[in-house]
Amino acid sequence: MRKNQTEAETLLWNELRSRRLVGLKFRRQHPVKDFVLDFYCHEYYLGIEIDGSVHLSEEAKEYDLNRTVVLEELGITILRFKNEEIRDNLSCVKTEILKVVSQKRS
């Protein structure tokens, strides 16, 4: 596991890296404007954020919401998953990612 990377980030990265998810190219810790996305697929303007307990405070929720608005204004779709979702139901997380990609392909 990389320094400062959560277990959930490692689990998801192992599914996304090296085009393992239907050939999609994802970047890890990708900068966009003043932000760093956990994972980003440039081809589909898709950002993935993984939320741990630090995202539960009201201040963090407001920051995340504002951040998402800015990124969506740039045409980037943001998917947010909780650590638990990735740990407990990774197949559903991958299905959600593929659903968004499929919608963007249309």
Higher pLDDT, 88 or 56: 88
pLDDT, greater one: 3 or 95: 95
> pLDDT for 39-85, tens place per residue?
999 999 999 999 976 666 889 889 999 999 999 999 999 999 999 99
The answer to whether the pTM exceeds 0.85 is: yes
Q: Which residues of 65-84 are buried (b: 16+ CB within 10 A; e: fewer)?
A: eebbeebeeeebbbbebbbe
Quote the mean pLDDT of the chain: 93
Measured CA to CA, the distance from residue 26 to residue 54 in angstroms comes to: 24
CA distance 9 to 12: 5
- Domains recognised in the chain with CATH numbers: 7-105 (3.40.960.10)
